[in-house]
Chain A
């Protein structure tokens, strides 16, 4: 217990791709027993995405690859990243026997999570209405693009669609370009997953106190839009539609990325108060221009931010991002180097915090995964294994946990129920 606060909770995980996988790895990190359900007829697409696929496999379905080139399904580190600490089973729930097996498993579980388009699990008797009949306090969390009610409930979409529909991408970009640049990574998935993990934990607290389980509907779209209070309130109050503003900040100047020595080297600097400004001026040696009336207080600095940015950039260009950071931080000014993945990997601060750690995968070897950013002093959790091999825990789950005899198990394998 001391290490793993969620030990003893069992989660049946139908999640796939990013959001569906991430929501439950957060619980596995904390010690929950998460059983990932796949099948050779329904393979998690994330086993393929993210790393370059061998050319002859592009546009082949994961199911076809499972037959022609099964090793490839076990080599994607991003799948291992998103599914670390989980058990893996393969069962075809579109068969009656497969669905029955899963119902038997869910009877002994606390949480079921999925990110199918609405209705998929209901069709096989695995939706909340059916599950609550066999396990009255089950918690089911179902995540999809637009939620499980409303005119767009069946709408599908990958991460970029979430942040587009949620309105976020309309505000990410350069002020001087007509087309927003958008988020360009799976931000919507990550946000929905974190909200989803939080929702499951809240539901568990409620269940432990009252004995009552429930169904949780998550719209990835709403999970993102719910964070946009500031621009939404601006529209609601003032009918103003905010667009991209680049690095401009109405309350801070300087505020931005400034060029440093070298190619594509940048440092971020942000100054809010007059005290910070004076510290900044002092740190850079009080050059004449800092005395300009245009920059004398916050209001003037934010009004004249473009002129200020140019002058700050001329100063930063003489140094590396790390030098600027050190000079300014010594004077209590917020600065940080622009980091790419390579630098993050070797950064002493991240190293000390175990932000990135090595985890051994049985087929792929040692891989660097991100660690656990929830630092709990007494019950820190831990990453107990890498992502599961396809069906690696079939015997354990079906024989030991569900008590199938060897012959019953073999028969189900033969019938491609466990497959």
Chain B
């Protein structure tokens, strides 16, 4: 086993689906010990989400669950029961980080609110990832990823301004909230080394969209009165081509060259077509703001002559920053990602050997790694309850009978 940056850090996850699990995966993949608490007999809802091999649902074969829960342990525990509560408290007394993504109301009902947990363990860092956060008038509103896209303001820049807006696919906001939650938690670890006390971290998915992603739109609104971001890339201010997708022989090419030198070079490489001399196609700002589709159409015949790989190679040779639009097949088979060993093969009892997508970053001394596959439901019950917490085999059977675990 290689040296890990977060080894020794004890994390408990009491969450479901994407945001809390991805947050703790980020820690587990860097060496933290993550105990995932799942509801007895059902477990994390992502176990039922898929994708499944041949589309046949099976709680140990969900691609989303397998991907989000690498390097973790799973125990089943009903924290709503008195006995379950007692066990959870035992665990949390010896925990550094508690990550949860439940509605604030539910956490209050379960008496798992921060003031109570702080009394239990003042060193504990509690990271709550929710839709709207722990404060504010919408705190108790119900919300799924699409509602966060709406309220967080990202949907205003997805899709066309003459049609219905779009949600970000794949519940992407959950992942973003998770990364931000992990980063804020690491800040709290650094702070704890000095203050010797834990704290509560409140991450709202709607805030994350509204700030780091499209918060610049509010800055532009107050600065120049641009009310929305529906008209295109960065709400304008750029010159053609700023993020156009142009069809080619076998897919699409993505074009972005706000700097004039690339555009000039590209026009030259196309052989200075006659239209490029027309003043209408020399005003790159008007081209981007007013008639980008018209310019796309002028470029299309040239692009249709070659495949995306042929184009990519050509643009690479000329150092022009245009690239193909990849799909998931392209990702899995890409030679660059292959050479960087982006995908890792790991074995799993229920599903066998599969490729898993890899690291968001490469550390030179403490590498990201997948040491173990996602756990089966309650896979580590005996290890945690008997070996670590000291329950006898007899207690263990009782707990199971009472459906506490």
CB of A125 within 8 Å of the partner chain: no
Report if A164-B325 is in contact (Cβ < 8 Å); known contacts: A1-B194, A369-B215: yes
Q: Are B67 and A230 in touch, CB under 8 angstroms?
A: yes
CB of B12 within 8 Å of the partner chain: no
Please give the distance in Å from B346's CB to the nearest CB on chain A.
Answer: 12
For the complex of A and B, the 3 pairs showing the least CB-CB separation, nearest first, are A233-B63, A370-B215, A160-B243
- Which of B158-166, B271-279, B376-384, B391-399 participates in binding chain A? B158-166
Q: Are B149 and A30 in touch, CB under 8 angstroms?
A: no
Q: Which residues of B contact A356 (CB under 8 A)?
A: 210, 215, 218
- A147-163 CB mask vs B (1 if < 8 Å, else 0) is 10111100111111100
Q: Are B327 and A181 in touch, CB under 8 angstroms?
A: no
CB of B6 within 8 Å of the partner chain: yes
Give the residue of A186, A234, A349 whose beta carbon is less than 8 angstroms from that of B132: A349
Please, how many angstroms separate the alpha-carbon atoms of A370 and B360 in the complex?
25
Q: Which residues of B contact A130 (CB under 8 A)?
A: none
Q: Are A216 and B361 in touch, CB under 8 angstroms?
A: yes
Report if A52-B211 is in contact (Cβ < 8 Å); known contacts: A217-B361, A257-B165: no
- A367-383 CB mask vs B (1 if < 8 Å, else 0) is 11111111111110100
Q: Are B136 and A352 in touch, CB under 8 angstroms?
A: yes
Q: Are A341 and B153 in touch, CB under 8 angstroms?
A: yes
Q: Are B199 and A378 in touch, CB under 8 angstroms?
A: yes
Q: Are A368 and B218 in touch, CB under 8 angstroms?
A: yes
CB of B242 within 8 Å of the partner chain: yes
- Which of A91-99, A220-228, A402-410 participates in binding chain B? A220-228
Q: Are A150 and B165 in touch, CB under 8 angstroms?
A: no
- Which of B33-41, B81-89, B329-337 participates in binding chain A? B329-337
Q: Are B358 and A226 in touch, CB under 8 angstroms?
A: yes
- A316-351 CB mask vs B (1 if < 8 Å, else 0) is 000000000100010011111111111011001110
Report if A184-B186 is in contact (Cβ < 8 Å); known contacts: A172-B168, A214-B365, A379-B191: no
CB of B1 within 8 Å of the partner chain: no
Please, how many angstroms separate the alpha-carbon atoms of A238 and B187 in the complex?
40
Q: Which residues of B contact A78 (CB under 8 A)?
A: 216, 219-220
Give the residue of B218, B339, B355 whose beta carbon is less than 8 angstroms from that of A345: B218
Q: Are B167 and A268 in touch, CB under 8 angstroms?
A: yes
Please, how many angstroms separate the alpha-carbon atoms of A350 and B170 in the complex?
25
Q: Which residues of B contact A199 (CB under 8 A)?
A: 360-361, 363
Nearest CB to that of A379 among chain B residues?
A: B191
Nearest CB to that of B49 among chain A residues?
A: A251
CB of B299 within 8 Å of the partner chain: no
CB of A11 within 8 Å of the partner chain: no
Report if A238-B245 is in contact (Cβ < 8 Å); known contacts: A170-B326, A184-B233, A216-B363: no
Nearest CB to that of B174 among chain A residues?
A: A227
Nearest CB to that of A329 among chain B residues?
A: B141
Please, how many angstroms separate the alpha-carbon atoms of A288 and B207 in the complex?
39
Q: Which residues of A contact B202 (CB under 8 A)?
A: 375, 377
Q: Are A232 and B331 in touch, CB under 8 angstroms?
A: yes
Q: Which residues of A contact B373 (CB under 8 A)?
A: none
Residue among A6, A170, A185, A230 with most chain B CB within 10 A: A230
Q: Which residues of B contact A180 (CB under 8 A)?
A: 245, 252, 325
Give the residue of B148, B159, B254 whose beta carbon is less than 8 angstroms from that of A169: B254
CB of A136 within 8 Å of the partner chain: no
13 additional A-B residue pairs with CB within 8 Å, beyond A267-B150, A339-B156:
A5-B187, A49-B238, A158-B258, A187-B213, A199-B360, A222-B360, A235-B329, A237-B54, A334-B142, A340-B217, A352-B137, A373-B210, A376-B187
Please give the distance in Å from B311's CB to the nearest CB on chain A.
Answer: 12
Q: Which residues of A contact B201 (CB under 8 A)?
A: 374-377
- Would you list which residues of chain B between 105 and 160 have a CB under 8 Å from chain A? 114, 132-138, 141-160
Q: Which residues of B contact A206 (CB under 8 A)?
A: 5-6, 365-366
Q: Are B138 and A349 in touch, CB under 8 angstroms?
A: yes
CB of B290 within 8 Å of the partner chain: no
Nearest CB to that of B18 among chain A residues?
A: A230
- Would you list which residues of chain B between 244 and 264 have a CB under 8 Å from chain A? 245, 247, 252, 254-260
- Would you list which residues of chain A between 169 and 209 have a CB under 8 Å from chain B? 169-174, 179-187, 190-191, 193-199, 201-206, 208
> Interface residues of A, CB < 8 Å — how many?
148
Q: Are B135 and A352 in touch, CB under 8 angstroms?
A: yes
Q: Are A230 and B64 in touch, CB under 8 angstroms?
A: yes
Residue among B144, B155, B213 with most chain A CB within 10 A: B144
Q: Are B163 and A266 in touch, CB under 8 angstroms?
A: no
Report if A171-B170 is in contact (Cβ < 8 Å); known contacts: A49-B234, A205-B186, A214-B364: yes
Residue among B172, B197, B224, B361 with most chain A CB within 10 A: B361
Q: Are B180 and A374 in touch, CB under 8 angstroms?
A: yes
Q: Are B362 and A147 in touch, CB under 8 angstroms?
A: yes
Please, how many angstroms separate the alpha-carbon atoms of A364 and B61 in the complex?
56
Residue among A151, A217, A225, A369 with most chain B CB within 10 A: A225
CB of B404 within 8 Å of the partner chain: no
Q: Are B195 and A379 in touch, CB under 8 angstroms?
A: yes
CB of A105 within 8 Å of the partner chain: no
Give the residue of A58, A156, A268 whose beta carbon is less than 8 angstroms from that of B321: A156
Q: Are B211 and A185 in touch, CB under 8 angstroms?
A: no
Q: Are B232 and A379 in touch, CB under 8 angstroms?
A: no
Report if A339-B164 is in contact (Cβ < 8 Å); known contacts: A227-B172, A230-B63: no
What are 15 inter-chain pairs, A to B, with CB distance below 8 A? Answer: A81-B215, A81-B216, A152-B336, A155-B321, A170-B328, A185-B157, A228-B170, A229-B63, A235-B331, A238-B54, A257-B167, A268-B151, A340-B153, A344-B217, A374-B203
Q: Are B199 and A376 in touch, CB under 8 angstroms?
A: yes
Report if A160-B359 is in contact (Cβ < 8 Å); known contacts: A228-B170, A342-B227: no
- A1-40 CB mask vs B (1 if < 8 Å, else 0) is 1100110000000000000001000100010000000000
Please, how many angstroms separate the alpha-carbon atoms of A152 and B220 in the complex?
35
Q: Which residues of B contact A182 (CB under 8 A)?
A: 243, 245, 254, 325
Q: Are B210 and A355 in touch, CB under 8 angstroms?
A: yes
Q: Are A202 and B336 in touch, CB under 8 angstroms?
A: no
